[in-house]
Structure 1
Amino acid sequence: MNIQESDILNLIITNTYTNQRKLAEVSGHSLGIVNRSIRQLIIEGYLDESIHPTEKAISNIQESTPRRAVILAAGFGMRMVPINTETPKGLLEVHGEPLIERQVKQLHEAGIHEIYVVVGFMKEQYEYLIDDYGVELIVNADYASKNNLHSLYLAREHLANAYIIPCDIWCDCNPFQKHELYSWYMVSDLVDNDSSVRVNRKLELTTVSHSSGGNSMIGISYLLKKDADIIRERLIRFDADPRYYNKFWEETLYEKGKMMIPAKVAHASDIVEINTFEQLRELDSHSNHLQSEILEIAAAALHTEPDNISNITVLKKGMTNRSFLFDCNSTKHIMRIPGEGTDQLINRREEAQVYQVIKDKGLCDDIEYINPENGYKLTRFLENARVCDPDNPDDLAKCMKKLRQFHEMKLKVDHHFDVFKQIEFYESLWNGRSSIYRDYQKTKEHVFSLQSYIEKYKEAEVLTHIDAVPDNFLFATDADGNEDIRLIDWEYAGMQDPHLDIAMFCIYSLYNREQVDRLISLYFPEGCPDTTRIKIYCYIAAAGLLWSNWCEYKRHLGVDFGEYSLRQYRYAKEYYRIVQKEEI
């Protein structure tokens, strides 16, 4: 049977046959296709002359009947800011009903009760589904570092005759059926420039370039056992390959320029993917989740109403925070929301004091609101801004000049940043766990032995940024073409030897020693004393261990920084050895 014949047979089995014209209307196929399909089904023995299903047809449909479903709900939902700070996207309410509950109810209507939900971010909020709906939860502990290919890998034993469903889909009409005769992948009749597939006349999903546009990919799929077996093998293979950590499960469907299963085309008005705050507002302007405390705070700070906030888009998730960009009264603003676990890492009252001290000194971005209790911060967006390129000599010279000018202001606050105390503080957050590095204690002893050298050649303490890394230097150009450099993200700032900032810039940039020496020379155009240079090497070793310990803490929270974490630990070991050689 081809797809059209399967559709017609399915309709005849599930609905009492009336006439071909009605079949054409319901199926969406032309009357000519319906007539040809019926003739072929009779020839192949699926229908008798009275157009009734035969035993062969009934056996075929029983073999391919849907038996289970996998709902993918582990993701953070990056584009759902600010809602995703309070609710996982599968529990967003549309017309008073959580998305995932609607999906489960629709599956039950189709006779499917074996339902697996892969959870990760805010997994505890899905626990009630076990009792209320009889689902089984599968926990994806790596949701922060891997995409949903890994989620489906965790559910790989449940893919035969199964629906695969993203949790952020709202379906007006039930997309699930008691009977399916073939595997399919659902797309919309809406053209989407970001889609990588397009439906051809044979209902195949052929790959296209992103610039040419294709059918919007909804993501709901149905897999028969024969196709599920292939997908399972690919999931096992791909999941073991780091190149696929950030890939969607759909990667397993592609072969020779098209998907291995045909398209099922839905009307764009019937099925909606909710990826952003704006899409939720468009679908249900009265949704409870539009009443965001964060938006109310932003609106109050800007002396407006939440409804005047529009064009909300996520900015790149930082290592400590996540932020979103929005328009309000013809101006763009950025709202910062502290990330997971930052309440233990950063003293927000101290951060607020820093911003009070540097205000109006041309050092930082324009702060419009900061809450010293929870760390929410609102800033005016700098148009035409870019970050420092750590491989651009001209950028580096300008950044080091700006950094030294800041240090020479000799600003003061009430708190101190102690690198060595912070190393032990981050270690204490491991809750008794041992380091993932086998020689950690030896490395720590070596790094701590450098304190005496640092103290001997330490500069007088001034307000120091601590996180003065390339991404925190913003180059902004005004309408007249004038360039200005601002330092952002002052969360860790405190009283310290200002030369620590040079070390931080180096290790974040993953510089080798030659690059480190070049940066030191840019900060000290008059020449850097050997003792100061060695002291900066000491700071590199200490800062490397500091951020390595920080990465270990974040790793326990499910956030893995990969190579960055490993390289920081290497700085601790390698620059200890460099200092030993230089001192001799």
Structure 2
Amino acid sequence: MKRRYFQIIELMKKNPAITQRDIAGTLKISLAYVNQILFSMEQDGFLKTNGLPAIGKRVLTIKAHTEYDSCKVDNAIIMAAGFGSRFIPLTYATPKGLLEVFGERMIERQIKQLQEAGITDITVVVGYLKDTFEYLIDKYNVKLVYNPDFETKNNLSTLYHVRDKLKNTYILSSDNWLRKNMYHAHEYDSWYSAVKVNEKTKEWVLQLGLHDKIMKVKVGGWNAWVMYGPVYFSRAFSDAIRPMIEEAYHRDDTDEWYWEDVLSRHLNTLTMFANKQPANQVYEFESLEELRQFDTSYMISTQNKWMELISRVFGKPEMQIRNLRPLRLGMTNKSFIFELNNNKYIFRIPGTGTEVLINRKQEYAVYKAIEPLGISDKIVYFDQTTGVKITQFEENMRVVDPHNPDDLDACMWIARKLHTSGITVRHRFNFRERIDFYERQAEAKHGILFYDYTEVREKMNALLDLLDTLEKPEALTHIDLICDNFIISDGDVKLIDWEYAAMCDPLADLAMFSIYSYFSEAQINDLMHRYFRRDPGPEEKLRVFIYVALAGFLWALWTCYKQALGESFGEYGLKMYRYAKDYYKKIMQMTGFTDERTQESNDEQSET
């Protein structure tokens, strides 16, 4: 069935008495061309004339109804798995698709528009803050599908997990806003909504052919039609792209792919058209600033507690807080940058479970104690109850590279300055106590999953006993002395995030730096040499290796607890656990030490 046939059938189904002149006016084509199409439709069996040819009335045939019905839209898929990083801090608590525009949640507006067009089979693919979408099941009778890859893969994975639902299907993004309803009960062919951009753009630019067929897609351009808004897959298109999505998903190099990457690479076999939209019809808000310009209520208040806090701290209206962007999603906290009064600041939000793990009053005490050293970030605001912190942002900042010798020397210089400062605080970091504490927290959440945990725990107990026999100095120690907590700005080195800092053996810091950087034994030896500025003594090396094993075990327990709370850290926990086991063996080789409990356990296994 040809496109013009589809359009005329649709008009005749809506108004059987429609005239050729009305058809011409609606489709914006000449009356002569309409008569030519009608004649062709009759020849192809889509129309028949009731009565005499000269005065009879053309009506749709069964073939016309059948082929039109094959274009009925089956369902819609709404992609809502992503984080929406350019809308922080709003999206820390609310997924972008659930943000309101003119008092209406963006995803709800689209669901209602779909339902108004008769599309009731709607699937929402969720990931980040998935539970916040659950209410949609009851309110709109939608279905939810979870994308387990939402943290590690782009939206190609979203379509992969609903590939079995691809038919005559609308594909929507939850954070789009459409002024007018552009959905229909029937669609002729596959299309991608497109808008005209008259200036330079970083969007996906379309090169169009006859009838606006998409011939080529590239990222970025000037004065062009770009991909913008919802998409429609015909059944034939879905059947064609499904195996392509499957093949791409299983490749090793496609974690960052959008599903559009698959489309752009197969336009020689996939047919899709641009559905050109007028200006001010489709919106994809790229930042809070864009949303503020569209819905001015966001100028006054975002209804977000972190934005309200910034406003109170600085005594400025929210609308002056600008250029928000995530700094990083850390292993412990979430941080973002904002601008106010022509200055930049970092806002830290403590992560899940940190209220159990970290004493914020102790952290604040460390910050106050180290102020004279000038080696840390400058605090603007610190809440000793919640741990929320605002600090000044260092311009031209970069994180230390643990494989850069100059960076390593700079880090060790800061570490020595801290350790030899003579500054003390009232709290201590004790590995035995902390391991016991993290173990209790993980066990309470049923989070310990290592099958040989009991055996490894016995080995760590042996190392703790060995450590107790050694002479150790005590100094203010960072404990979380890792490469990501060192920042270099215009040659100046700072050490940030003092959450775990306490009095301890300073050599624990070398172990922490080493295991987070996944250092080999040779690299750990090199780090010790840079710290001491000489070869380490046998007992110094032994202590560092003991701390490598104990710290690896400690952070493996930490990840068990955090993962039980729903946070994922990939292979980090496994690598930490491996440090515990491998460096226990090295210490045994260095010392010839055999723990009686471990030996008895080995003897029992041998007898068995």
Q: Taking structure 1 as the reference length, what is the TM-score of the superposition?
A: 0.89
* Secondary structure of 1:389 counterpart: coil
Equivalent of residue 140 in structure 1, options 144, 147, 150 = 147
Deviation at 1:174, TM superposition (A): 0.8
Residue in 2 aligned with 1:480? Answer: none
1:154 maps onto 2:161 in alignment: yes
**Are 1:226 and 2:236 an aligned pair?**
yes
Q: Deviations over 1:376-433 (max 9, x none)?
A: 2111111112221111111111111111111111322232223343334334344453
Find 2:77's aligned residue among 70, 73, 98. Answer: 70
1:470 aligns with 2:483: yes
Structure-2 separation of matches of 1:337 and 1:30: 63
1:261 pairs with 2:272: yes
Out of 329, 338, 342, which is 1:317 matched to?
329
Is the contact between residue 354 and residue 413 of structure 1 (CA under 8 Å) also seen in structure 2?
Answer: yes
CA distance in 1, matches of 2:30, 2:288: 39
Task: Say if 1:365 and 1:236 are closer, same or farther in 2 by CA, change over 3 A.
Answer: same
Of residues 284, 291, 300, the one that matches 2:295 is: 284
1:401 has 2:409 as partner: no
CA distance in 2, matches of 1:224, 1:51: 29
Shift in Å at residue 536 of structure 1?
0.6
1:301 alignment partner in structure 2: 313
> Structure 1 residue 192: deviation in Å?
6.5
Q: Which residue pairs with 2:53 in the alignment?
A: none
State the partner residue of 2:452: 439
Map of 2:571 onto structure 1: 563
Of residues 84-93 and 287-296 in structure 1, the stretch that sits farther from structure 2 once superposed is: 287-296
Q: How does 1:269-418 map to 2 (within 5 A)?
A: 269-287=280-298, 290-418=302-430
Q: Which moved more, 1:199-208 or 1:222-231?
A: 199-208
Q: Residue deviations 1:158-182, cap 9 Å, x none?
A: 2212212111111111121111111
Distance change (3 Å), C-alpha of 1:282 and 1:536: same
What SS does the aligned partner of 2:112 have? helix
- 1:88 to 2:95 alignment: yes
How many Å separate the matches in 2 of 1:8 and 1:335?
A: 58
Matches of 1:467 and 1:545 in 2, distance apart?
Answer: 14
Q: Which residue of structure 2 aligns with residue 23 of structure 1?
A: 26
Q: CA deviation at 1:9?
A: 5.6
Deviates more, 1:521-530 or 1:11-20: 11-20
Shift of 1:324: 1.8
Equivalenced residues, count: 576
1:179 to 177, 181, 186: 186
Structure 1 CA distance for aligned equivalents of residues 333 and 183 of structure 2: 39
SS of the aligned residue for 1:399 comes to helix
C-alpha displacement of 1:95:
0.8
**Range moving further from structure 2, 458-467 or 169-178:** 458-467
Q: Tell me how far 1:111 sits from its aligned partner.
A: 0.5
Residue of structure 1 equivalent to 2:219: 210
Q: From the superposition, tell whether residues 379 and 55 of structure 1 become closer, same or farther in structure 2 (CA, over 3 Å).
A: same
Deviation for aligned residue 1:268: 4.7
Which amino acid letter does the alignment assign opposite residue 466 of structure 1? I
1:470-525 deviations in Å (ceiling 9; x for gaps): 12111112xxxxx3111011122222111111111111111111111111100010
TM-score, normalising length: structure 2: 0.86
Moved more, 84-93 or 120-129: 120-129
- Give the structure with higher Rg (CA): 2
| Contact 1:69/1:112 (8 A) holds in 2 | yes
Name stretches of at least 5 consecutive residues in structure 1 with no aligned partner. 478-482
- Between the two structures, name the one with larger relative contact order (CA 8 Å, sep ≥ 6): 1
Gaps of 5+ in 2: 50-56, 593-608
User: Counterpart of 1:535?
Assistant: 543
Matched residue, 2:511: 503
Distance 1:342 1:60, change over 3 A: farther
Percent identity over the alignment?
37
SS in 2 for 1:415: coil
Query: Is the deviation greater in 436-445 or in 98-107?
Result: 436-445
Aligned with 1:457: secondary structure? coil
Q: Which moved more, 1:364-373 or 1:435-444?
A: 435-444
